[in-house]
């Protein structure tokens, strides 16, 4: 089992993230540009087809992830596959896609909170491409569902905006395909590291169709492709996001008082402070031009905890009429982002009557499920969002939090664990321990046996492979961030 000391020493590259079928399949298309990187990615795709014939995360079985990954993999195999086995795998993928889309409910397809990032923009482009290639013939309507409607809403928000590195849609710019390149501000799309928004798929699209063979783009793709097997991560690097969340989880514990730990934190805090943009805050990486509300709010809490003066202008630059934004032009608000702003406002001393706090609490009350939990668009598990809601909402609205605590306690399994799907996970169990510990420390006592039971289960399962529960264009796992949450929970539960 790793320690916080080990994690803090490991931080820096922002590349500790799982590989995904969707991103890797885009790199597999690049045979005419770079046969070596393409063939290695194609081999990865062939080796990672799931037993039911689809591609994506094996667990959890998540509709949007499976659809986008399977489409992407089949297209790559159709373009670049040459063997009989490739055709067999494509047919298995097609059969799986039919099964997945046949069994999906309209609500699941239409739910804007459940969709992966850019799903409503990217999938219509992939479907059109798969149709042109003759891969799909009858599944089009089932796959698209009401996507045309949601795509239209998004396009209206982007009216008159060209896709450049300063708008969030750059991360999903492959949605332009081959026939809508005119939507792209070609000379202002790439980052200094050669990527398009640190996205392997968007960068591969750029190197294929926007600036064919662009050397900077190919250098970026080579740098983030897994040297062991050719796989590609959901996005990389994410050096800011990784640092902020590891430090955030550490700050919940007493380990922050250890002089050795504090010394290991110092260069990471200085990194955040050095790369903070006045009036804008932070993005998920220094290599990406975009800043966002989530990294800004979490990063501000971390900096404030280490004695840095809050940049109030940056925080409030994300404030809207009814909630706080993650990005401009987003089609639906993030509950998680608003929770993290609330948590930061508590850290810097805003009282319950502050207008920004009142605004967020009102938003949270309106979006809380009748059972007491919340779900969000950045993570598949409501335990993540609900645990963060309890920790942020305590002392602002204890009644709202108590309803959530009851939901968590009632959902605990007999072995002490939590998991929203069939199997429990160490990550979800860690979040619940964090929330219960915060509730206990607030003076609202619960049975300590509940936390002890959870701790004992977590000790046994802490080192197991972590599942991809985080949402980007497909599901992924930021491994060091998840490890830090588990270490935090184990530290918090040590004395129960």
Q: How far is CA 211 from each of CA 28, 147, 178, 196, 205, rounded to the nearest angstrom? A: 17, 29, 12, 12, 9
Same domain, 411 and 326: yes
Q: Is residue 116 part of a domain?
A: yes
pLDDT in single tens digits along all 496 residues of the chain: 789 999 999 888 778 899 999 999 999 999 999 999 999 999 999 999 999 999 999 999 998 999 999 999 999 999 876 677 888 999 999 899 888 887 654 444 444 457 889 888 899 899 889 988 888 876 666 677 666 666 667 667 667 779 999 999 999 999 999 988 999 999 999 999 999 999 999 999 999 999 999 999 999 999 999 988 999 999 999 999 999 999 999 999 999 999 999 999 999 999 999 999 999 999 999 999 999 999 999 999 999 999 999 999 999 999 999 999 999 878 789 999 999 999 999 999 999 999 999 999 999 999 999 999 999 999 999 999 999 999 999 999 999 999 999 999 999 999 999 999 989 999 999 999 999 999 999 988 777 889 999 999 999 999 999 999 999 999 999 999 999 999 999 999 998 8
Partners of 182 in the β-ladder: none
Distance CA 302, CA 455 (A): 26
Q: Is residue 381 part of a domain?
A: yes
Residues 6+ apart with CB under 8 A from 36: none
DSSP 338-363: HHHHHHHHHHTT--TTSHHHHHHHHH
Distance CA 326, CA 439 (A): 27
What pLDDT was estimated at residue 140?
65
DSSP 243-289: HHHHHHHHHTSGGGG-HHHHHHHHHHHHHHHHTPBTTTB--S-TTSS
- If one counts the domains in the chain, the total is 2
Distance CA 177, CA 159 (A): 18
Distance CA 136, CA 132 (A): 8
What pLDDT was estimated at residue 112?
42
Q: Is residue 423 part of a domain?
A: yes
Distance CA 325, CA 270 (A): 26
CATH number of the structural domain spanning residue 44? 1.50.10.160
Alpha carbon dihedral 138, 139, 145, 151, in 10-degree steps, equals -100
Domain end among 233, 248, 270: 233
Same domain, 291 and 220: no
Phi then psi for residue 324, to 5 deg, are -100, 140
Q: Is residue 4 part of a domain?
A: no
Same domain, 474 and 430: yes
What pLDDT was estimated at residue 110?
45
Same domain, 155 and 223: yes
What pLDDT was estimated at residue 138?
64
DSSP 308: P
Same domain, 423 and 402: yes
Alpha carbon dihedral 256, 261, 267, 273, in 10-degree steps, equals 0
Burial class (CB in 10 A: 0-12, 13-18, 19+), 449: exposed
Domain end among 216, 233, 250: 233
Same domain, 229 and 292: no
Partners of 232 in the β-ladder: 20
Distance CA 68, CA 297 (A): 30
What pLDDT was estimated at residue 265?
97
Burial class (CB in 10 A: 0-12, 13-18, 19+), 378: middle
Query: What is the reported pTM?
Result: 0.94
Residues 6+ apart with CB under 8 A from 40: 225, 229, 230
Q: Is residue 114 part of a domain?
A: yes
Q: Which domain holds residue 330?
A: 239-492
Same domain, 227 and 121: yes
Same domain, 426 and 456: yes
Q: Is residue 464 part of a domain?
A: yes
Same domain, 253 and 201: no
Half-sphere exposure (Cβ direction) of 146: Cα atoms closer than 13 Å: 13
Phi then psi for residue 476, to 5 deg, are -150, 170
Q: Is residue 91 part of a domain?
A: yes
Same domain, 449 and 422: yes
CATH number of the structural domain spanning residue 393? 1.50.10.20
Distance CA 328, CA 5 (A): 37
Distance CA 175, CA 467 (A): 27
Q: Is residue 9 part of a domain?
A: no
Same domain, 379 and 466: yes
Tokens of 226: 């897994």
Q: At what angle do helices 35-47 and 63-80 cross, to 10 degrees?
A: 130
Partners of 330 in the β-ladder: none
Domain end among 233, 250, 284: 233
Phi then psi for residue 343, to 5 deg, are -60, -40
Partners of 470 in the β-ladder: 379, 476
Same domain, 341 and 375: yes
């Amino acid at each position: 089992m790793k320690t916080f000391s080990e994690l803090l020493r490991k931080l820096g590259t922002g590349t500790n993230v799982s590989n995904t079928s969707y991103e890797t399949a885009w790199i597999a298309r690049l045979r005419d540009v770079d046969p070596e990187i393409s063939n290695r990615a194609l081999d990865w795709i062939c080796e990672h087809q799931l037993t039911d014939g689809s591609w994506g995360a094996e667990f959890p079985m998540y509709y949007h992830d499976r659809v986008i990954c399977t489409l992407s993999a089949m297209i790559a195999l159709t373009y670049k596959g040459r063997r009989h086995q490739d055709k067999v795998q494509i047919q298995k993928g097609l059969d799986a896609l039919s099964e997945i889309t046949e069994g999906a409910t309209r609500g699941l397809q239409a739910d804007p909170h459940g969709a992966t990032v850019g799903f409503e923009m990217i999938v219509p482009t992939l479907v059109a491409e798969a149709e042109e290639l003759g891969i799909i013939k009858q599944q089009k309507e089932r796959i698209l569902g009401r996507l045309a409607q949601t795509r239209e809403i998004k396009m209206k928000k982007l009216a008159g905006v060209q896709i450049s590195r300063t708008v969030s849609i750059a991360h999903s710019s492959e949605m332009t395909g081959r026939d809508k390149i005119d939507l792209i501000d070609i000379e202002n799309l790439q980052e200094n590291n050669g990527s398009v928004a640190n996205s392997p798929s968007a960068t591969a699209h750029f190197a294929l169709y926007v600036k064919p063979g662009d050397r900077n783009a190919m250098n970026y793709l080579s740098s983030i492709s897994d040297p062991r097997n050719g796989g590609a991560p959901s996005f990389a690097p994410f050096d800011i996001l990784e640092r902020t969340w590891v430090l955030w989880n550490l700050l919940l514990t007493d380990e922050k008082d250890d002089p050795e730990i504090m010394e290991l934190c110092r260069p990471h805090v200085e990194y955040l402070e050095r790369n903070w943009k006045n009036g804008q805050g932070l993005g998920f990486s220094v290599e990406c031009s975009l800043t966002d509300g989530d990294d800004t709010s979490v990063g501000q809490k971390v900096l404030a905890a280490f004695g840095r003066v809050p940049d109030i202008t940056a925080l409030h630059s994300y404030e809207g009429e009814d909630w706080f934004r993650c990005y401009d032009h987003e089609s639906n608000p993030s509950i998680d982002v608003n929770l993290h702003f609330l948590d930061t406002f508590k850290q810097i001393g805003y009282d319950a009557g502050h207008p920004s706090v009142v605004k967020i609490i009102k938003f949270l009350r309106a979006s809380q499920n009748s059972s007491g939990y919340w779900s969000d668009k950045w993570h598949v598990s409501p335990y993540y969002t609900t645990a963060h809601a309890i920790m942020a909402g305590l002392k602002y609205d204890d009644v709202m939090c108590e309803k959530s605590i009851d939901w968590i306690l009632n959902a605990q399994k007999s072995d002490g664990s939590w998991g929203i799907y069939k199997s429990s996970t160490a990550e979800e169990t860690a979040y619940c321990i964090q929330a219960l510990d915060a509730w206990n420390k607030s003076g609202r006592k619960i049975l300590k046996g509940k936390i002890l039971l959870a701790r004992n289960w977590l000790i046994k399962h802490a080192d197991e492979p972590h599942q991809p529960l985080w949402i980007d264009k497909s599901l992924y796992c930021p491994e060091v961030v998840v490890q830090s949450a588990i270490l935090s929970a184990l530290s918090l539960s040590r004395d129960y």
